[in-house]
Amino acid sequence: MTFDLPPFDLPDPFLARRDGARILLAGPAPQSLGLRDAGEGRLWPACPEGGLPAALAVFEALSAGPDEVVLMLDPAPWAALLPELHARGIAVPFEGAFAVFPALFWQVPDRWLAHAAPPFPELFRRGPHGRHPLRPPKPEGLLYRRFIPWLGQWLTLRALDLDDLPTFHRWQNDPRVAAFFEESGTLDQHRALIERMLADPHLLPVIGALDGRDFGYFELYWARENRLGAVHDCAPWDRGWHVLIGEEDIRGAEHVTAWLPALMHYMFLSEPRTRTILGEPKASHVQQLRNLTRGGFGKIRDFDFSHKRAALVALDRQHFFDARLWARPPESDGRPLRLSPTVLL
């Protein structure tokens, strides 16, 4: 079986071929990643050339499916990388060897965040619903990038700016979107809305794209400063979000399994102190509530805003990583698998 890999930071595409328990990567600089089958869903990889970026790519590919843990039975080939892998929690001692546990590895931001930053110092200030931390400067440009194996496409998240006004305006005036988002208006009204959001330190407006095609808008917010903070006891780094899928052909369940976990992954990676991600969709939006339940959210209760009856839902950080909610969904099992592209230096 052959797996096509699109280019990733390299001018030429790579091909991956699986031969039994062995993955062979070929491209401008052919590489061989030997894997010994350890049974019980475990694999022992040989250390790849290319240093840490190549190792992270291998771990992502191996942890994107049902395998429980990646074991490095013989640490000798990994000697050069093990100190850094261990110090950062990517590989930890386990049963006399070193192991890469997906729940740890997928919390390390290097593979997915465009600009990983250390946690912003914590200083509390007064807010509309009690004290909240001083928020870090909002990132700009590309935020997150991940290859979605079951779609065979790159999913990216980037910070919205005024260049996105025409697309934002078109989406907000789509009757189907306006029925739930309630932000239809003129071009000038939407320009003013974007300017207000960009100036608001508690809001981060985001555009999602698949293979460079914009498909949706996500509004991320710090929950304590938001209207949600008035009706729920939000923790200091809890985050909430709103979603608008603007393109009709991206509204299906197959795409929800791509953008929903990717967005949650971004929020957990970008702030390690975020323990819970909250949502407050309309209580009557049955399909969205069904999608959220499948994505790991639990319903807490219904409540009333001034403008809608809402359902309060929450996703726990530990549950997201322990349950591996980023992984290939069961309904995609019949599709040809495409491994995540590898960076080779």
The pLDDT assigned to 285 comes to 79
More confident residue, 340 or 205: 205
Both 155 and 287 in a single domain? Answer: yes
- Taking 70 as the threshold, does the pLDDT of residue 328 lie above it? no
More confident residue, 338 or 140: 140
- β-strand pairing of 70-72 with 97-100: antiparallel
- Taking 70 as the threshold, does the pLDDT of residue 177 lie above it? yes
35-84 per-position pLDDT tens digit: 444 444 444 555 556 678 877 887 887 777 655 677 776 677 778 889 99
- Find the distance separating the first CA and the last CA of the chain, reported in whole Å: 26
Structurally, the chain folds into a number of domains equal to 2
* Non-local CB neighbours of 319 within 8 Å, separated by 6+ positions: 296, 325
Residue 207, burial from CB neighbour count under 10 angstroms (0-12, 13-18, 19+): buried
Across the range 183-187, mean pLDDT stands at: 96
The pLDDT assigned to 252 comes to 85
Mean pLDDT taken over the chain: 81
232-280 per-position pLDDT tens digit: 999 999 999 999 999 999 988 889 999 999 999 999 999 999 999 999 9
State which residues form the domain around 265: 124-343
Across the range 102-123, mean pLDDT stands at: 93
Three-state SS string over the chain comes to: CEEEECCCCCCCCEEEEEECCEEEEECCCCEEECEEEEECCEEEECCCCCHHHHHHHHHHHHHCCCCCCEEECCCHHHCCCHHHHHHCCCCEEECCEEEECHHHHCCCHHHCECCCCCCCCCCEEEEECEEEECCCCCCCCEEEEEEECCCCEEEEEEECCHHHHHHHHHHHCCHHHHHHHCCCCCHHHHHHHHHHHHHCCCEEEEEEEECCEEEEEEEEEEHHHCHHHHCCCCCCCCEEEEEEECCHHHCCHHHHHHHHHHHHHHHHHHCCCCCEEEECCECCCHHHHHHHHHCCCEEEEEEECCCCEEEEEEEEHHHHHHCCCCCCCHHHCCCCCCCCCCCCC
Phi, psi torsion values for 36, nearest 5 degrees = -105, 130
Token pair, residue 97, equals 């060897």
Both 170 and 273 in a single domain? Answer: yes
Residue 336 lies in a domain: yes
The pLDDT assigned to 150 comes to 84
Q: Which of the given ranges, 90-94, 149-153, 297-301, 332-336, has the highest pLDDT on average?
A: 297-301
Residue 34, burial from CB neighbour count under 10 angstroms (0-12, 13-18, 19+): middle
User: What count of residues does the chain have?
Assistant: 345
Residue 117 lies in a domain: no
280 included as an active-site residue: yes
Both 83 and 139 in a single domain? Answer: no
Both 99 and 138 in a single domain? Answer: no
Both 264 and 183 in a single domain? Answer: yes
More confident residue, 114 or 31: 114
- Least reliable range by pLDDT among 92-101, 209-218, 327-336: 327-336
Domain boundary among the residues 52, 76, 106 is at: 106
Percentage of the chain exceeding pLDDT 70: 79
Both 137 and 93 in a single domain? Answer: no
The pLDDT assigned to 49 comes to 60
What is the C-alpha to C-alpha distance for residues 50 and 243, in angstroms, rounded to an integer? 38
Across the range 180-198, mean pLDDT stands at: 95
268-323 per-position pLDDT tens digit: 999 999 999 999 988 887 888 888 999 999 999 998 888 889 899 999 999 999 99
Residue that is written with structure tokens 């892998």 in the block: 85
Note the pTM of the prediction, 2 decimals. 0.85
Give the active site residue among 183, 219, 225, 280: 280
Residue 7 lies in a domain: no
Both 64 and 95 in a single domain? Answer: yes
